[in-house]
Every structure is written in C-alpha cells, then in structure tokens.
A and B are shown apart, each in its own frame.
Chain A
C-alpha cells in the first residue's frame, strides 16, 4: 500500500523560522515565523518513530540551522538508531553550527533553484547563490555527505545539465530533482508547476545524465512513470501492514505538532493528530484502525487513475496522491 521504497522516513519540520522568505516555500516560512517544536517533544517522537519501524529522519523546515536544539534532535535520532538527513538553504551554515552537528548528521542537502539568476530570484535575495560557494566547501570539508536539491519548474529542465556540473564541481554525491509544489507561499505559482511534458523531459534528461556521470553522482528525480509507480505500489500491496511504517513513508511532523502522511500540508482528513497532545504510538494505533481503510481505498483509486493514464506517462507521485485522496476520507 502506498509507495514505500527501501527507507522508511520520518520527516520532521521542527521550526518555520527561516533566514529567507523564498517565493516557493511550501511551509510559508520566514524570519518572523515563531512556532517550533520543543526539544523534549522531538526526542520523545523520534524514539517512538524508531520503534514503529522508521529508520531515517529527514529534517526540514523552516531552516533547520535556525532551530537551536538541532544537535539535540540529531543526537536523539542517532540514539534511536536512525540515519539522519537535513535540507537547508545553505546560507545559515556557519563553522560553529556545522561543527555542532558533525558526527550526528549523515547527509546535508542544500537547495538550489536553478542557475544563479534564477536562484536569487526564487530566494528573493540578490547574491544568494554567490554566497553559497563558501558554505558548500565548508560542508564538503567537514566530511558530511553533501547533496543538492534542485527545484524543477515549468521553465528549467534545460538547467539540469548545469546542475549536474555544479554538483560535481561542489563535491556533492547526490542531486535530487524535486518538482515545485504549489502550496504555502507557492500557492500563487501554479503556472510554474511542471506538467507531464516537463516531468517526462526531466526523467529522460536525468537518465541520460546519470548514464554520462556514472557513479560519481547519484541523480534522483522525484517523478516516475505510471507503470513504474504501479509496480512499487503492487510490491507493498502484497504485505498486510502491521505497523504504520508498512503503509506510510514519509511520515511528516509539522512545526505545530500535526502529523500527516506523505507530505507537508497533506489533506487533514488523513492526519494522525497532534503529537504534542498524544503519543505517536497512540496516534498511529488509532490511524491504523480508523483511517487506514480510507487511505487504502484512496491508494486503490490512485492505482486505477495510473492505469487509466497509461504505462509510459510520467507523474509526480505525491502531487497525484494529494489530488486523488483530497477530501475523500470517510
């Protein structure tokens, strides 16, 4: 059920505070946003997530480096036996902040939104791209695995080749191509969300570039053909979900404690509840009993939609799940 791949990820957004105010921010983060999760709560939730079968924690935000207890969060994840990843805009990285997470952080991914001019425009800050250079070198020299996350829009698939060259020059080992999501502050950017033609072009371009660079760089593109996605869903369908991690990955914890499946802001009909009010164990148990049937039926509808669309059509799986499941929980 769902589209579980090898890792079972809990994605935590401990704060909406950010040093930037990016045009495409799905969580509407900014320097003024004040809500954040208490560190004791985060420690408890990560411990519970590990016992529920989640083995990777991915920290996002807001800007994770603006969350003071970040080292404590990562230490709690490590103590629970999880691998740790973090997505940053890069500009809040300082030597002391990096030093505080070295040994606790397995992978640090920095977001880029295209070539320098496009990046600065999306970040609403002149010179933002130029100032990334020192920070990327700092990460590389710290020994933490560096990744880059490239936001795919309607207008920039031709820049993926540049992004690959930039990633190689920066010493990155992963380049993730993620489609723009029209939520949060990006709700007004619906015309910029890549359609099927751009998603297809991105998939083909990434396959070509992966072949060209070989094992120097892993290129991951967050779109899939309908046929490929149905195969992934069919593999997980064969198992009866015993725990929530068998059915939902990523599991998302938002800055106010709301816990939802799959992605930030996912339709509230499918929310588990709020981890600041109830334990994650209790929320997960209740979800498996009361919401899982509606989620499973939504996934069956999604499979039917994928079958209708045809095997070779390329889709953004999370956006399609949100659309198909939206407002349909019983």
Chain B
C-alpha cells in the first residue's frame, strides 16, 4: 500500500527534474496556506455563530412561532423518508447520512427543545421510509408525489400564517422572514416558478401561432439582455410607480418576481435546447398512434426532454440558489443580508470573517446536495441498463 503511493508519486510527481521542482514548490505553499488557515480557525472565537444562529437561520422570525418552521421540516423529512423507499438501490449511503446528520447535530450544545426537534427529524425520515415500504405499498408513489406538490404551498401557509394577528397561526409579516429561511423560500419558489414559466415560454417559442411565438421570443430576449441586479432594482423602484397608488406589492414579492422572470428566460432556452435534441421520429410515432398534441407533449415528449436536460437544469438550480443572495442589495435580510447585519453589530464587528465562512459552508452544503441528488435521479432514469 505504502510502496504503491511512492511508485505513483515517482511516476506522476517526480518523473522529471522540473516536475519535482514544481511539486516541491506547490506543496510548500499548500502546506503553508493550509497551516495558517487551520491556525486561524483555532485562534479566533467562533462564539459569534452560536450566538447568532437563530438570526442566521430564520432572521427576525418570532421565537414563539419557530415551532412552525420545525413542523415544516418534520413534514418535509417524513416525505423525504417516503421518497427514499421509492428510489432504487445505490443510495443507502446518502440516506444514512441524511438520517444521521440531524441526530448528530442534536448531540451538540443546543437547547433541549432544539435537540428534541432535531432527533424528531431523524425519526421522521425513518418512519417515512418504513411506512413507504411496508404501510403504503403501491400507493407510496402517489402519496409522495401529492405530498411534495402540496408541500410548497404548505410552506407558505405555515410560514406566513392566516389567522390574523392572533389565533392558531398568527400572521408573520414578510419583513420578519430572514436568514436561511428566506433564502430557501426564495430559492424553492424561483426554481419551481421559473421552471414552469420557462416551460411555457419554450413551448410558446415553438408555437405555430405567430403572436404567441413572437411574444415568447420578445420576453426571452429582453430579459436575457438585462442583468439580474437591474431587474431587481426595476421591481424595487420602478414597479411601484407603474402601479395604481392603492395597490402595493411587498418588497419580497417584487424581488421574487424579478428573480423568477430572469431565470425563466434562461430556463426557456435550456428547455428549448432539450426539444431540439429530441428526435423528430418520437413526434411521428406519437401522432401515428393518434395521440393528440397535448397527450404527445405530456406523455411522450416532455419526459424525454426533461430527462435529457437534467444536468443543465441542475446547473441553473444551483445558480439560482446562489443568485438569491443578490436580494440583500435591496434590503432583504437573506443569508447574506443577515450576515452583513451581524457584522454591523458592534459586539461582533471583528467576527465578520467567521460569519462569512459559515455562510459559504451553508451555501456549499445546499448546492452540493442539489447536485448529488440530481446525479441519483439521473442514474435512476437511465433506461438502457
């Protein structure tokens, strides 16, 4: 084993004198960089993270209403558990990690209530998995699909509340939403809505009706020609001017409209690429069998188009998650916005680097899990093996 590494290093890193020099040179700097990084990590105080964890995760969301966020997570992990039971094998490792992470987090120094919730997240996944496998049987697919579809509006209802200032689910105004919660809500909304809108724009661009076609082309090209930040400012500053005085739209909604429109235009082009990549013979087979246009599209064409563009879609999705950080510019307190706010607190003024690093870690975990999940989905959709 040890000699194998030596032989490999000899062949690849020290095979010529100049490679040897480069290797030594680079390893010197790498070691130095890593060493000083590690030194820094252990020398600074990280107390800023636990002290502000609630802010980073949920912003100014009322503490006595936090159970609603936990409840969303519990329902989500239960649905995830059902979904695991449907996926093909080869994901046991991932599932195990997903189940163990909350349990491990629970062993850290959180409050008793948080620990209880975290443990419940693990339990919910296991219960979901078991009930998907042994209780629901053939209906698990339908339960999971319907569950996920209802889940998104459910998030809104739970976070926003509907019973007015008092009652079971009191209204929590959007200016109190913040941190990871806000970033996630915007990400999920923009991923779903921009995909749907992009799909319609892509279909519109292929339409035989000239008005629809040129309208779609116009929308796509105009939006693609404008930077996202400009669209956000347009929504923030110009949109209120264009609306009648008695109609006001919240900042969050205006920001989301900008993000969704922007990504829909790119999504439309991705989907169009998928349509072009699909052989014309699939349409012919569908028409020859007397499927109407709608059936051909939904049953035969779209599933193949979407499968083919999963890598591109996922690329866009991770881009969207990161792009949500731009909304901090118009004053919304998402992950980036809240960390700026924390750094502005005199008590933590010198700790902004730690917050930034922690933030990067959160974004990395989010985007990395999206791309990992998509690989699994892609593999499970491979029909040739």
Say whether A associates with B: no
